[in-house]
Structure 1
């Protein structure tokens, strides 16, 4: 990769994601008042995600040889393409590390079996729970077999696209913004190829992708991070509590559970009600939780995110109570859900 962006000087503070008892945050202030996020923070946030993807692909390819991919029923060129994706993720790590210099966050120890779920079609779903990556999945080791790896790859890439899309608004330097856009477009190609060429489902969710906030993405990836070098500086975010959705299907009634007592919401609806906000493209649809249940909008398609909120009009760090959960509603060329 030959595109050059300026390196950061020693005065810039980097970040890293850490979880559980070892989690480090830059401040204990409420989410809405935490320190300003600068360009270095955004690039280190991106590097944190790239480290996870790099570890995920290198681990899978070390375990599954070409014969394993063929035995899984995948095309003969599938493993070669995944090798190229792995090389891209490694290049992204090297690229961002070079740009950040000695302030670049280092790789952590990862457990990709922790709260990672393997694919079950939407119409067979019983439980959706977050934090996790593939939100509509049942517990399963992503390295159990090639198909589990492929399913998680699709979700990783989709979340990566939403992460870069959401972070773009925080970047002020045009060179850094161009660099991030260059990575984003490649991640989107990865997601489309895995879904369409390998998964034989929709290569996109619609005309627009979902932008996720730093805190929303952190809530999704944090469970996979076990520990990090002590020299890594802290990330100014917090994870939201888990959101559990039972028997999810478009147009169907489902039950909802979340631990709202540990949420970070600072804004509440005047009625005191809570809602599930479905994030699809740039649209957000709010559905009130009534007696622990909601009806899922029947028009939802593709990769959708769900969060519990204290507001009927806003899904932000100030109103989110739990989530996000990642929902996948695959559809065919006719636009109809694949059952």
Structure 2
């Protein structure tokens, strides 16, 4: 069975890099988050995506894509996605003016066009979840409309990369999965190696790593967390607009039957937010076929 987890793709970065991540501040109060915070949070993510695509396209030629088994038209579409992400950076910079955060430096663990495409699927999916989760904090209606326009384009990217390119599920649910600012930041920070000290702080926190070992839908999987005792806590699985809480017993949880979910470790069996999350975020993606059933390959 093919299983894709974000932590697996990011392991090379953890092994090789000492992080100097974006400046953070207390994330406990949503009332302290304003439109400038949300736009800078979005810009931080768009910088990361723009650099991700530019770097890969500089490294891999059309022949590299074809020789690695990707469709002949794949690289051209990735060039268009790269242009979209660059346009998002320009738009957000113009909206923020002198308040705009600056780009960081990055390290992405792709080694081939196919591993780049796999990580692209992950980043685009996280981008959709980031905008969906951040929408609640935007008060300016014009900014909200702009964010919605970016979100829908990111969703098109995610579906195209997952479906035609990687031959996986172009969607997982009737609804996309919103993620909190801190959950997205925890995922994105794994690829950031340094940031300008003058960058404005973000209202986020980073969580320790959560690992679900060889997870499969409906099966028990081993749970471990970096520096955290998981026993007796709960793994919260976010899928669409639903959250399923499963208690960690004897170091294991049974994974829900979802094709795609995000997982965090929470001290609560009813709430998974910055006040209760003790580790995460793990990404689980399983190959459901066109009939909506789990594929064997």
TM norm structure 1: 0.79
Cα contact 1:307–1:322 (8 A) shared by 2: yes
CA distance in 1, matches of 2:21, 2:189: 11
- Structure of larger gyration radius: 1
CA distance in 1, matches of 2:193, 2:120: 20
Cα contact 2:125–2:155 (8 A) shared by 1: yes
CA distance in 1, matches of 2:245, 2:42: 29
Matched, 1:77 2:77: no
- Unaligned runs of at least 5 residues, structure 2: 1-17
CA distance in 2, matches of 1:253, 1:111: 33
Q: Output aligned runs, 1:106-255, within 5 Å.
A: 106-113=102-109, 142=110, 144-255=111-222
CA distance in 2, matches of 1:328, 1:230: 36
- Unaligned runs of at least 5 residues, structure 1: 1-18, 114-141, 264-271
Q: How many residues align?
A: 279
Residue 248 to residue 262, structure 1, CA distance change in 2 (3 Å)? closer
Cα contact 2:20–2:193 (8 A) shared by 1: no
Q: Aligned with 1:32: secondary structure?
A: coil
Cα contact 1:260–1:322 (8 A) shared by 2: no
Residue 54 to residue 287, structure 1, CA distance change in 2 (3 Å)? same
CA distance in 2, matches of 1:73, 1:307: 34
CA distance in 1, matches of 2:246, 2:91: 42
Which is worse superposed, 188-197 or 312-321?
A: 312-321
Cα contact 1:260–1:321 (8 A) shared by 2: no
CA distance in 1, matches of 2:227, 2:31: 25
CA distance in 2, matches of 1:217, 1:38: 18
Aligned to 1:127: none
Displacement over 3 Å in runs of 4+ = 19-23, 259-263
**Which one has the bigger helix percentage?**
2
Of 228, 243, 251, 1:292 maps to 251
Aligned to 2:276: 319
CA distance in 1, matches of 2:228, 2:199: 30
Residue 22 to residue 288, structure 1, CA distance change in 2 (3 Å)? closer
State the shift of 1:90 in Å. 0.3
Aligned to 1:52: 48
Of 39, 64, 67, 2:63 maps to 67
TM norm structure 2: 0.90
Cα contact 1:241–1:262 (8 A) shared by 2: no
Q: Aligned with 2:224: secondary structure?
A: strand
CA distance in 2, matches of 1:320, 1:146: 35
CA distance in 1, matches of 2:228, 2:165: 41
Aligned to 2:3: none
Give CA deviations for 1:51-95 in whole Å, capped at 9, x if unaligned.
000000000000111111111222221111000000000000001
Give CA deviations for 1:160-209 in whole Å, capped at 9, x if unaligned.
00000000011011000000000000000000001111112221111001
Q: Which has the higher contact order (CA 8 A, sep 6+)?
A: 2
> RMSD between aligned alpha carbons?
1.8
State the shift of 1:259 in Å. 3.8
